[in-house]
Structure 1
Amino acid sequence: MELTLNGQAVVVRDYQEDDYVDILRLNIDEKWNNLVENVENVKQFWNHSSIPYVNKKLHKTPFIVRFL
């Protein structure tokens, strides 16, 4: 799915299990320690979420969108 954000095209796609390493890196970079400390629980949450999406731009840490 393509969206426009601040005048730039953003491509959002379904989460894939191998995205989790980038999600964990983002959690570490943002100092979201509660998510970092619960790696396996958070990973399972993403793997079993009904509608998770990610945006990977130029192989950098993803912008993550998760709808409940």
Structure 2
Amino acid sequence: MNFTLDNGEKVMFRQYEANDFEAVQQLNAREGWNTLVERGEETKEAFENSNVTYIVEKENNIVGYLRGMTDKQITLYISELIIGEELRGSGIGKTLLQYVHNIYPKTRMELLGLSTSKAFYDKLEFRSFYGFRKVVEEWRD
């Protein structure tokens, strides 16, 4: 799907394909998402097992992506959203979130964001909520 952003730039949203993974990992590395980079095989498998995976292309270059999961009726959970730093503020992230949410219009969109992305989600009028996280090694008897 092709989009013209408010600033006149043209981008394309399309489904993730396995050969996109190297470019996705480059975006992760530039963003400092080291866990995703260091755990490359697991990250690749996460993409393969996710039912919401979209790539953002501009002039045949991958400049962003969104990965998530949905039950298609209640919840649309966004795991990762990255737009290349040089294109932030151009409307790509907002347009991609709207595009994906329109595919699953019955769902509520939920996501976790870093403190550095708070202003972005506040601007889009997302409501804050509290969440919790634990990895398996943190369980104690």
Q: Report TM bin, short chain.
A: 0.7 to 0.9
Counterpart of 1:9 in structure 2 is 10
Q: Cα distance, 1:4 vs. partner?
A: 4.1
| Cα deviation code 1:25-62 (max 9, x no counterpart) | 11111111111111000000111211201012224343
Q: Determine if contact 1:54/1:65 at 8 Å carries over to the other structure.
A: yes
Counterpart of 1:51 in structure 2 is 52
Q: Determine if contact 1:2/1:11 at 8 Å carries over to the other structure.
A: yes
Output the CA distance in 1 between the equivalents of 2:27 and 2:38. Answer: 13
TM-score scaled by structure 1?
0.80
Output the CA distance in 1 between the equivalents of 2:41 and 2:17. Answer: 16
Output the CA distance in 1 between the equivalents of 2:6 and 2:36. Answer: 28
Q: Is residue 24 from structure 1 mapped to residue 25 from structure 2 by the alignment? A: yes
How many correspondences in the alignment?
68
Counterpart of 2:119 in structure 1 is none
Output the CA distance in 1 between the equivalents of 2:46 and 2:12. Answer: 23
Q: Runs of 5+ in structure 1 lacking a partner?
A: none
Q: Determine if contact 1:25/1:61 at 8 Å carries over to the other structure.
A: no
Counterpart of 1:60 in structure 2 is 61
Q: Give percent identity, aligned residues only.
A: 31
Q: Which has the higher contact order (CA 8 A, sep 6+)?
A: 1
* Structure label with greater radius of gyration: 2
- AA in 2 matched with 1:50: N
Output the CA distance in 2 between the equivalents of 1:64 and 1:2. Answer: 15
Output the CA distance in 1 between the equivalents of 2:4 and 2:35. Answer: 31
Q: Determine if contact 1:2/1:9 at 8 Å carries over to the other structure.
A: yes
Stretch deviating more after TM superposition (4-13 or 33-42)? 4-13
TM-score scaled by structure 2?
0.43
Classify the secondary structure of the residue corresponding to 1:12.
Answer: strand
